[in-house]
Amino acid sequence: MENDRKKRARRVLAVEASAIEGVREKIDEGFGKAIDLILAAKGKVVVSGMGKSGLIGRKIASTMASTGTPAFFLHPADGIHGDLGMVRRGDVVIAISNSGETEEIVRLLPVFKRVGLPVIALTGRSESTLAKYADAVLDVGVPKEACSLGLAPTASTTATLAMGDALAVVLFEEKGFSEEDFADLHPGGALGRRLQTVADLMHTGDEIPIVSSEIPLTDALLVISAKRLGVTGVVDDGGNLVGVITDGDIRRMTQAGVDLYKANVGEVMSRSPKRIRATELAAAALRKMEEYTITSLFVFESASSTKPVGIVHIHDLLKAGVG
């Protein structure tokens, strides 16, 4: 029994994998036209589909919205009964129907055309009503469903979802969508923690350990102890960061025989301190700390800034779940 179940499960996955491979081979100029239509749209992407196609459509709209392409799902039955007010000139439509003859979708097509909205069809039949109305057609047809009866939408919905992912990914790549942009749209949960920026976690204001390069080293030791970050930045008269001193530096000086009571900060500081921009991801700060075997980074507004606006410590990153 168990082996038979495994065999049937593997058959289902093989059919679905073959479906995705099949639509991969069908990518043609229609895909490029669909991308151009979406990039040219001044409004949003309106995704619509009934039943299982509707569920796939919701996922496609969600993926696009979370990767920098404003999109929402319009249930075609609701659209027929008043929700077309959600649609505006300048939008572009992705209509999903495996048969291309879904009644609710077909009834909406003349309305989309009348408003002047380009239509991108995701359909399994290139000669269908939907395909004939569409400005761009993406063929997501599959030779068979994974369902043993050949009735339940399985391989066809998998192929459609994969095509929607292809659209979303190519779109955000062409827009230059970055990790920072992604972080702005995903502030919650484990993903949000991983995508926090340095600015979200850094110490600012009076919490930043800063001393002048002219003061005695013993005074710098007091600042390191008081701020409890194991480091202090060293600034010149203009407030520009010129060096750092860590508690590790102090230990090494002691071992080297340096008289801590006679030295001043400028004589013993480490120059060219490692730095990071406030807008960078916290994960990037952690990688830099690991690369240079350090525990803190001074934070700046931009790559050309010389005055620190904060400091981030490895404990702050780990406590926030950055990893």
pLDDT one-digit tens code per residue, 13-65: 999 999 999 999 999 999 999 999 999 999 999 999 999 999 999 999 999 99
Residue type for 193, please? R
Kindly report the backbone phi and psi dihedral angles of residue 9, in degrees, each rounded to the nearest multiple of 5, phi listed first. -65, -45
pLDDT recorded at residue 94: 97
CA Rg value for the chain: 29
pLDDT recorded at residue 184: 64
pLDDT recorded at residue 249: 81
pLDDT one-digit tens code per residue, 224-266: 989 889 899 999 989 999 999 988 888 888 887 777 787 888 8
Q: Which residues contact 310 (CB under 8 A, 6 or more apart)?
A: 198, 199, 202, 203, 204, 208, 278, 298, 299
Q: Give residue for tokens 């520009």.
A: 240
Asked if residues 231 and 210 have their Cβ atoms less than 8 Å apart, the reply is no
Residue type for 21, please? E
Tokens found for residue 74: 């319009």
CA distances from 196 to 20, 186, 205, 234 (A): 34, 9, 20, 27
Asked if residues 47 and 74 have their Cβ atoms less than 8 Å apart, the reply is yes
Give the whole-number percent of the chain exceeding pLDDT 70. 93
The mean pLDDT of 72-84, rounded to a whole number, is: 82
20-24, 52-56, 180-184, 287-291: lowest mean pLDDT where?
Answer: 180-184
Q: H/E element holding 93?
A: strand 92-97
